[in-house]
Amino acid sequence: MSAEYRSPSEQQRAEARREQILCAAATCFRNHGFHGASIAQISKAAGMSAGHIYHYFDNKEAIIAAIVERDLEYLLTLSAQLRAARDTREAMIEHVTEGVRRSLEPDDAGLKLEVVAEAARNPQVAEIVREADRVCRASLATTLRAIRRADGHDDDDGAIDTMVELLAAMFEGLMIRGIRNPQMDRAAVARRFQATVRQLLTQP
Amino acid sequence: MSAEYRSPSEQQRAEARREQILCAAATCFRNHGFHGASIAQISKAAGMSAGHIYHYFDNKEAIIAAIVERDLEYLLTLSAQLRAARDTREAMIEHVTEGVRRSLEPDDAGLKLEVVAEAARNPQVAEIVREADRVCRASLATTLRAIRRADGHDDDDGAIDTMVELLAAMFEGLMIRGIRNPQMDRAAVARRFQATVRQLLTQP
DNA sequence: GGTTCTAGATTGAACGCTCATTCTATGTTA
DNA sequence: TAACATAGAATGAGCGTTCAATCTAGAACC
For residue range B31-52, list pLDDT tens digits in order: 999 999 999 999 999 999 999 9
CA distance A18 to A161: 36
- Provide the residue type at B76 as one letter: L
Do the Cβ atoms of A42 and A24 come closer than 8 Å? yes
Reply yes or no on whether the pLDDT at B6 is more than 70.
no
Reply yes or no on whether the pLDDT at B90 is more than 70.
yes
Reply yes or no on whether the pLDDT at B84 is more than 90.
no
Reply yes or no on whether the pLDDT at A24 is more than 80.
yes
Closest CB to A199 among B32, B130, B199: B199
Reply yes or no on whether the pLDDT at B76 is more than 90.
no
pLDDT of A84 reads 85
Q: In angstroms, what CA-CA distances link A81 with A71, A87, A143, A168?
A: 17, 11, 10, 18
The 10s digit of each residue's pLDDT in B134-189 is 998 999 999 999 999 999 999 999 999 999 999 999 999 999 999 999 999 999 99
Residues of A in contact with B129 (CB under 8 A): 179-180
Specify the DSSP class assigned to residue A28: H
Residues of B in contact with A179 (CB under 8 A): 116, 119-120, 126, 129
pLDDT of A119 reads 93
User: Do A170 and B172 lie within an 8 Å CB cutoff?
Assistant: no
pLDDT of B4 reads 41
Strand D proximity: list residues 52-91 of B with CB under 7 Å.
Answer: 52, 55
Q: How confident is the model at residue A10 (pLDDT cuts 50, 70, 90)?
A: low
For A171-204, b/e burial (b = at least 16 CB within 10 A) is bbbbbbbbbbbeebebeebbebbbbbbeebbeee
- Within 7 Å: CB of B19 and strand C? no
Distance B196 CA to D16 C1' (A): 49
Q: Where in chain A is the domain with CATH 1.10.357.10?
A: 60-202
pLDDT of A13 reads 78
Do the Cβ atoms of A112 and A51 come closer than 8 Å? no
Mean pLDDT value across residues A173-182? 98
Distance B116 CA to C8 C1' (A): 43
Dump the DSSP string for B103-127: HH-HHHHHHHHHHHHHHTT-HHHHH
pLDDT of A2 reads 32
pLDDT of A82 reads 81
CA distance B203 to B148: 9
pLDDT of B10 reads 66
Q: In angstroms, what CA-CA distances link A176 with A73, B13, B33, B85?
A: 21, 37, 17, 29
Closest CB to B162 among A35, A182, A185: A185
- Counting residues of chain A whose pLDDT is more than 90, the rounded percentage is 73
The 10s digit of each residue's pLDDT in A121-132 is 989 889 989 998
Q: Where in chain B is the domain with CATH 1.10.10.60?
A: 1-57
The architecture CATH gives domain B1-57: Orthogonal Bundle (1.10)
- Count helices and strands (H / E) in chain A: 10, 0
Reply yes or no on whether the pLDDT at A8 is more than 60.
no
Strand D proximity: list residues 57-86 of A with CB under 7 Å.
Answer: 59-61
Nearest residue on chain A to B179, alpha-carbon basis: A120
10 Å CB burial of residue B130 (0-12, 13-18, 19+) is middle
CA distance A126 to A98: 28
Lowest-pLDDT range, A12-21, A125-134, B8-17?
Answer: B8-17
The 10s digit of each residue's pLDDT in A59-68 is 999 999 899 8
Enumerate residues 153 to 172 of chain A having a beta carbon within 8 A of any beta carbon in chain B.
158-159, 161-163, 165-166, 168-172
Number of CB atoms found within 10 A of residue A149's CB: 12
pLDDT of B9 reads 65
The 10s digit of each residue's pLDDT in A142-152 is 999 999 999 99
pLDDT of A1 reads 34
Q: How confident is the model at residue B13 (pLDDT cuts 50, 70, 90)?
A: confident
Reply yes or no on whether the pLDDT at B81 is more than 90.
no
- Provide the residue type at A59 as one letter: N
Mean pLDDT value across residues B5-25? 79
Best CA proximity match to A69, nearest among A114, A133, A143, A121 = A133
The 10s digit of each residue's pLDDT in B93-120 is 999 999 999 999 998 899 999 999 999 9
pLDDT of A85 reads 84
Mean pLDDT value across residues A52-58? 95
pLDDT of B7 reads 54
CA distance A107 to B50: 35
Q: What pTM, to 2 d.p., does this model score?
A: 0.90
Closest CB to A169 among B106, B113, B177: B177
CA distance A143 to A75: 12
User: Which residues fall within 8 angstroms of residue B100, CB to CB, at 6 or more apart?
Assistant: B171, B174, B186, B189, B190, B193
Average pLDDT, chain B: 90
Nucleotides of strand D under 7 angstroms from a protein beta carbon:
3-10, 14-20, 27
User: Do B35 and A31 lie within an 8 Å CB cutoff?
Assistant: no
User: For A60-202, which CATH superfamily applies?
Assistant: Tetracycline Repressor, domain 2 (1.10.357.10)
Taking each helix axis as running N to C, give the angle between helix B60-70 and helix B106-119, from 0 to 180 degrees, rounded to the nearest 10.
Answer: 120
- Within 7 Å: CB of A1 and strand C? no
Best CA proximity match to B142, nearest among B199, B200, B72, B82 = B82
Report the gap between the CA of B74 and the closest CA in chain A (Å).
Answer: 16
- Counting residues of chain B whose pLDDT is more than 70, the rounded percentage is 93
